[in-house]
Structure 1
């Protein structure tokens, strides 16, 4: 029996279909009522990373962890263009006002909608601030309290599958701290990608840009180490902005695989009132020299969490090491 439908439909097994056909041939002027199944809220385990979801490392910029986050995108019932083919049954084109669709085109509206809500709550936030709020508040546990699963392997996923995790709109409204970016930060990043002057001008829409301060280590809410050898080391510089109304103190908490040595300086950040900033550096040393070879090895991962003492807010970022694509 098929399990993928692209428009509202009813599927019958062989036994039930024989009963229906017998009824239709023996009964005149019958009517049929369809009762569509309501949303099932307690499906477990959920969420999961769909088999078609793109994985990292990102080929264009491997040193920037992708995906950022994940959102619902599998078999989403969505509005469809009227009078446009939704499916084909033999030689007939079937139309519908709604179809079931999957992919980035379904998950991205969820992200955009949540981002629009965040802009309403925080009209002064930049795009980077909204992105940071979504990433640092995302969750990586499913509704059974286990790790989010990768549907392809049926095993626990990694940040190369889901980035920072599945978005949590309510928590994103109050992220406490954000990794912010300005226009020049983006220009510096684009300049570091070895584009031509004409390409940089086209991307930035500016003719008076300068690449004197090009910087690949953009102030992003994640940390990605591309492994070139069995021992690799990289230092990241980041700046956090306090978006709370009151001064606050946060402590660094690191979770990492045994092959990763992660150090953070300073380990305590003291923020003044709303808008105050604090900088820190994070160094990652990855040593695979004693590791037994693994088939399909992609890398290790961990997390950096900035945690306050009361009532224990957590600002979380993934730390990932992997061989380049």
Structure 2
């Protein structure tokens, strides 16, 4: 049994102060990932700062038409929210594709963003893992890596990020709101998670002590056709082998707006900037989609056992984009 302190925060300032007072502390929300990692011995926090009593459990429409989602909004509530389902359907679809109903009832928006990789070498403290223990090596490189990264990985780490929700947020141009001792700041969801580089132990761009307080969905993407699709080993309750979130607006026969992000291919949700640039301003044809996705995936570096992810992701992306084309354009 590992001992740790426990603090129930009554305000954001109190949470930040408690975190700073306990080096090695962790914030506790739904706990669906953190508690599991504590049981495995991967996480050994000196203190848990309980933020579940903070007023961060509401979905609020802002004056500019954007939607602010509190960090403690439960995944099941967010997936079922009428404004989300109507305005940003890819987010609702991504949430419903993740975990089980019981876990969605407990998991929070902030916790979903902050969940850690499900790489078995990370979760097994007897195995080398640079993410868990920097400098110990990456057991997956020469080991079992069927589920691992094909884009953006390094010699230090080939793990993938497990969130479905984060992939949709990246494609939708959402922002993540952070609170810390220096105040409030926002970070683009597509830039919130890091590639491993030489420091795979750092999952996100969060500064020490900062707390995720909300996610903001922009008004600009509200009502624009969007969708999320996920390929997995079984029909439910499985992490993605590859996934795609897409946003596509067609006007006057050309692509006026496009957002495309891949999941399970990299250390973070992979925003497909090259593919988007290739599609923008052109006709929304299947051939155009295929060419754009091929351009994006040309940067991939598949490993011994996961090259199958490339045609899988390609077919998913082309299918999702094709289904978003208005019927009159597809005739």
Same fold by TM-score greater than 0.5: no
TM-score, structure 1 as length reference: 0.29
Task: Judging by fraction of residues, say which structure has more strand.
Answer: 1
Task: Judging by fraction of residues, say which structure has more helix.
Answer: 2
TM-score, structure 2 as length reference: 0.28
